[in-house]
Structure 1
Amino acid sequence: MSATEIKSPRSAVAKVGSNRIAPQYRRNGSSKGNFEMLAWLFMRLSGVVLVVLIFGHLFVNLLVGDGIHAIDFGFVAGKWADPFWQIWDLAMLWLAMLHGTNGVRTIINDYAEKDATRLWLKIVLYAATTVIIILGTLVIFTFDPCPVVNGVQLPGGFCPVP
């Protein structure tokens, strides 16, 4: 290979013919369908939606009211008392996790050379993603700022006194 020649990447697509301008390619094995195209499209769309969600989140938390000095347990409790903010934060959690998981999946596919290594890395990735999405969703929807334990309300300066 000469100094100006670029080595072909690993691919399931083999070049047919010697047309340098527009080479033709032939697939070896079965096609994966449209999954990779849909994953690529998801990354673009979710990225745009995430930009809106994240900047909205930052604006409300850092610029409205007292800014960063107002963020405490009571601020989050008041925010999550409104279903709008629960859905907003849930969408941000789900999209961020799925967007990141898809990106890491692509990196694993690009750099893990052995099939077994690729398989186990993806299993760990998908398991971690599932656990974080489930736990995050449970926290958002089961959050109780004024819990009662054994008939006694736990102390908090923002909870009404019975």
Structure 2
Amino acid sequence: MSSLQQQIEQFFYREARLLDDREWDAWLECYHPHTEYWMPAWGDDDCLTTDPQREVSLIYYHTRGGLEDRVYRIKTERSAASTPEPRTTHLLSNIEVLSDEGNQVEVRYNWCTYSHRYKSAEHFFGNTQCTLVKAGESFQIKRKKIQLNNDYINHVIDIYHL
């Protein structure tokens, strides 16, 4: 039996691979139905916004339904922002278990995503904090807070960039 650390690492490596391979339905299964998926924006004082209901966020979905809608638009080419879909490579590092409450685990990791589209390559980088809950032999993401550390982004940021 592998350690909790190894199980969590394998879970996040799989989630990244599913994004790179555009396996959208399998990727959605990584998320709990009542997940919160949030990427706050940087404020004028170089601090992240703290309330997705009252402040600007780069991405905010309060349930998996928002992610499902986004995936539907990507898959059916009803999203000009993601047509054509970019080719991506996700790299993860420093996967750290912050707390283990049995059925719920808090995790933080760093990431870098390389993205290629329209003869142009870009990279996005930052860190993520997640709450994972047990789901059978694996996990599901109950909450995901993404900190994008790029100073400038040239276009709309989307779920496959993170």
TM-score range, shorter chain: under 0.3
Q: Which has the higher helix share?
A: 1
Structure of higher CA gyration radius: 1
Which protein has greater RCO, CA pairs closer than 8 Å, 6+ apart? 2
Query: TM-score, normalization: structure 2?
Result: 0.22
User: TM-score with structure 1 length normalisation?
Assistant: 0.22
